[in-house]
Structure formats: structure tokens, C-alpha cells
Amino acid sequence: MGRRTSLRLGVSVAAIAMVATACSGSDDGGSSDSEGDSAATGGSFTLSGSEPEKLAPAADCYSADCSQILSTIFTSLVSVDAETQELEYGAAESIDSPDAKVWTVKLRPGMKFHNGEPVDAESYVRAWNYYAYGPNTTQVGFFLSPVQGYDDLQGKQPKAKELSGVKVVDDTTIEITLDEAFSQWPLIMSYAPAFIPMAQECFDDVQACNEQPIGTGPYQMSEPWQHNESVTMEKWEDYEGDDPANADSIEMLMYADLKTAFRDWQAGNLDIVDGVDPSQVEQAQAEAGERWLSVDDGSYTGLGFPTYIDMFDDVRIRRALSMAIDRETIADRILMGQSTPAMDYIAPFVPGSRDDACEYCVYDPEEAKRLFDEAGGIPGNTVTIFFNNDGGHEGWTQAVGEGWKNVLGLDYELASIPFTPWLNTLDEGKSPGAYRQSWIPDYPSPENYLDPMYGEGSANYSRYQSDEFLRLIAEADAAPSIEEGIPIYQEAADVALEDLQVAPLFFGKTEIVYSERLDNVNYDPLQQILLGEISVTG
């Protein structure tokens, strides 16, 4: 019954695949045999997925599996090398700015849509204007909100239909002007659903395009989407880009419950399970042997202590509660090893992540009890944990409560309600106690783990306010380059970790198993399987 409602990292599989190519030493990229001798072409395979929301407009496609499809049938502008954490260009040749405010995107020339239309500057600008235009009600169009003129496209009767900050310079050059300098902008542009282009044919009939999108990547959808059943992607022979495409055809089968997908894999009916249920991880390890991958997926879970609840006013109480949580044991025994204890706000694979940033995330019962008593305990001696009851969070929340009971002699209550009212309650600032804070990043920047949750962003449910933190974030945003921003973001994280309005708990993992027929199954740490690289051997 797990739900993955949030955005998963949308970095292009295709682009990452190219990076892997580069890493393995083959400098010219290009052909499908660049991975070495093992890569065989041809054949077909299946993988598990869940029903996408919409395939067009892309800005309505926000779930992980939906992004996986888009990333396979599109070549996205830019992505990030998982190893070196450097930008790797796909459909773009460069994204540069002298001042982090005016950005110039140079497109690779000669790329085409599956229907033969050219992939030019116009096709991008057309798409971005569509995504950002308020009455089109796209889900992730607001990723374009840093762009100048975005506000004029909102409301019932928007003042404009086009972003004033986006200009077509020539066929392969786009100039983007932001409202304010933002050093991490190229990383945002790696989020495929908000930035992939739109063919004119698609623009003219979005409905038809939703059933059978017109992409730019090495695979195309040769038949319409079979709703709730499958999406089939076949190799596009006219592809001119660098992304590999080994198998001839890839079929994503839609599953309502991934436990069923795993059993289908056991029975030999499915080649790849993308996301093994925690309860089946031990079985998967035992049965899959080598054909098993475990990947940091960047998701983050914390426990928030809202400022509007008096009992959490004292920072010593917040620290004591955090130090009384045995993250290791809970991750191991309840989450079945599918999470790792979090010692930072920033997930492990993101540039700037540290494994010892959070001083008060270490399990230390004595110190916790000492701090707790020193602060005089809390009135009523009871803490409530507030979470949604449809996401499988009962186990670890109860374990956190049991830990408090054992270490601090504190009573706990669990308050769980469905997802919608839970979110609405957090929005209104009415959480009855400590709450589950979760995040799935949109782009691999420390900024994405900090500003939304502890700054003026969109997920600051603890109502944390720190001028120092905001000042540091602003400073990092205005840094001249992505790299120079990172140490300043770390300083900001330190400020927030010291105040501990949200205690980091876990970073998530995703488990993938595959069949004997497949070879060269790889993933990037952004939780996407590199479908084009996979070769079918049996």
C-alpha cells in the first residue's frame, strides 16, 4: 500500500548513461557498444512501474515511473555525473552565465523529434511557455517560477502568454533571465518534466500526444499507452544522439502493488523489479544473488518539532528527543535495511553531504536523559507523533515512541490520519505534536534539501525561522558557480542542525532485482535504471 506521491529525481536516464559511457573510457560516446564487450543489442525486456499521471504535457508528469518513461523517450538538456557530481550535457551543449542571473543555453544542433520536426530553440520555448501558463494548470510548471515574467502568466486572466525572461536568440540558442541570481539554476534544468521540449504536433493536440508522446530520445512509443496495463518503448532507428539503446524494446508493466511485481519476477514473468517491498528484501537478496542492486534514492525522513507547540521551545528537549532515537536499530529491524541513519539534512550522493554533520543525531541514552532532565522534562510527560496512515509509517513511528518510553520515561501517542488531511493539517500549522517530515528531491543540489524545509520554502512545516540561515542561503544562491555555493550551504545546514527544529532520521534506499536474461543493469544514485544500457542475453 505504499505510495510514492512525491517527485522523484527527474534527471535524465539517457544523459546519465552518457556520463557512464564517458567514465568507462570511451571518449567519443555514440554507439551502443561503448560499454565494452558485454553489451549485446536486440531483444526485449519488461520492468515494473506504476501508472503514470500524464505523458503530455510533461509538466503534469511528476511521479518517478512517469519520469522514467520521459527520460527514456527524451534526451534531456543536462544531468549530473553521479561520481564526479559534475554537469553532463545531453541535448544542451552548454548552460552558462556570467552573473548567475542571465543564462545562455546552447543546444546541440541537428537533433530531431520522433516525427521528424527539428529540436530547436523554438520547441523549448514553446514548451516552457505552455508549462508556466497558469490556466494550463500543470503540476510542476512552477519550477519555472524563478524566471522573469512568470508571475504575469498566473491567475484567472493572465497578463501575458509568454515568459518575458525567455528569448530565442537563434535556432540553437536560448537566453533565460531570472528574477534574482541563482547559482544552482543548471541543476534545476536537469529536472526533465519541467524542461523537455514540445513538438509543434504535440502542441496542437496535447490530448493525442498524451496517449502517444512525441519524444527526442533513443526510444519511442510506437503504440499508444495501454492505461493501467503497460507502456511499450521501441528503439528509434533515426536517433542521432549519444544515448545508448541496446535492447530493441522495453515494456513497462503497471503494478498497483510492488509485492506482486516481485512474485511475478519469482515466477519468471518479469525481468526487473524497480523497488522491492521492504518485507521481501531478504528473499530478494537470497534469490537474486548477484542480480540485485541497492541504491541510495535521495529520499529523506525527519521528525519535525513545530515552533507553535510550547513543549518543543527548549532546544535541549529537541536534542534529547533526537538523541533518544536509535536510528541504526530502527533502520535495521523495522525498515529492513532499506534506509540508512541520517547524520545530515543533505542526502549522501548530493554534493556537500557529510556523514557527521548532525551532532545530536547520535544515539546516546545517557546524554539524552541528562539533557531532558536538565530542561525539566515536558508538561504532561506525553509526546504525540503525527503522520499519515497510508504510507507504511506505523512501524518506525511506534519504534521511535518506544525508544522515548525506554530512554526518557516518556509516554507517547501516535496520531495518524490519511494523506490529504495530514498535509492540510501541516499546511495550517495544526500538528498535534512532532510530525513526520519527508522530502524527495527534485534536483541534486544541497539547496533543494535546505531552503524548502527550513527557509522560506514550501515545506517548512515546523515554522523554523532563522535570519542567519536565510542570510547564508541567499549568499549561496548568489554564488558565482554551483561549486562555490556548496560550502556556504553547508554552513546554513550547520545553523539549522544546531537548532534542530527538525531531527534528521533516515535516508531512503531502493532495491532492484533483475532476471538472468539481462546483463549490464546499472542505476544512477538518482534512482533511475539506465534502461538503454541494458543488454538482453537470454
Q: Which is nearer to another protein, 150 or 239 (CB)?
A: 150
Window 226 to 245, contacts with another protein (CB under 8 A): 226-230
Asked if 382 touches another protein (CB under 8 A), the answer is: no
The CA-atom distances, in angstroms, between 3 and each of 24, 132, 330, 339, 391 are 36, 27, 21, 16, 6
The CA-atom distances, in angstroms, between 149 and each of 145, 152, 194, 498 are 8, 5, 17, 38
Binding characters for another protein, 42-81, by CB under 8 A (x = yes): -----------xx-----x-x-------------------
d(CA 225, CA 215): 14
Asked if 255 touches another protein (CB under 8 A), the answer is: yes
Burial code (b: 16+ CB inside 10 Å, e: under 16) for 337-367 equals ebbbbbbbbbbebbbbbeeebbebbebbeee
Q: Which is nearer to another protein, 175 or 419 (CB)?
A: 419
Asked if 294 touches another protein (CB under 8 A), the answer is: no
Asked if 414 touches another protein (CB under 8 A), the answer is: yes
Answer for which of 94, 115, 137, 481 binds another protein (CB under 8 A) is 137
Q: Which is nearer to another protein, 261 or 518 (CB)?
A: 261
100 burial (CB, 10 Å; 0-12 / 13-18 / 19+) is buried
Q: Which is nearer to another protein, 119 or 473 (CB)?
A: 473
d(CA 124, CA 409): 59
Q: Which is nearer to another protein, 34 or 425 (CB)?
A: 425
Asked if 91 touches another protein (CB under 8 A), the answer is: no
488 burial (CB, 10 Å; 0-12 / 13-18 / 19+) is buried
Secondary structure of residue 37 in the 3-state scheme: coil
Asked if 402 touches another protein (CB under 8 A), the answer is: yes
Asked if 481 touches another protein (CB under 8 A), the answer is: no
- The DSSP letter of residue 58 is G
Asked if 259 touches another protein (CB under 8 A), the answer is: yes
Asked if 421 touches another protein (CB under 8 A), the answer is: yes
Secondary structure of residue 217 in the 3-state scheme: coil
- The residue among 535, 511, 515 whose CA lies nearest residue 523 is 511
Window 424 to 463, contacts with another protein (CB under 8 A): 424-425, 427, 437-440, 452, 458-459
Q: Which is nearer to another protein, 173 or 260 (CB)?
A: 260
Window 315 to 354, contacts with another protein (CB under 8 A): 326, 329-330, 333-334
Asked if 417 touches another protein (CB under 8 A), the answer is: yes
Stretch that binds another protein, among 123-131, 178-186, 402-410, 530-538 (CB under 8 A): 402-410
Asked if 208 touches another protein (CB under 8 A), the answer is: no
Radius of gyration, alpha carbons of the chain: 24
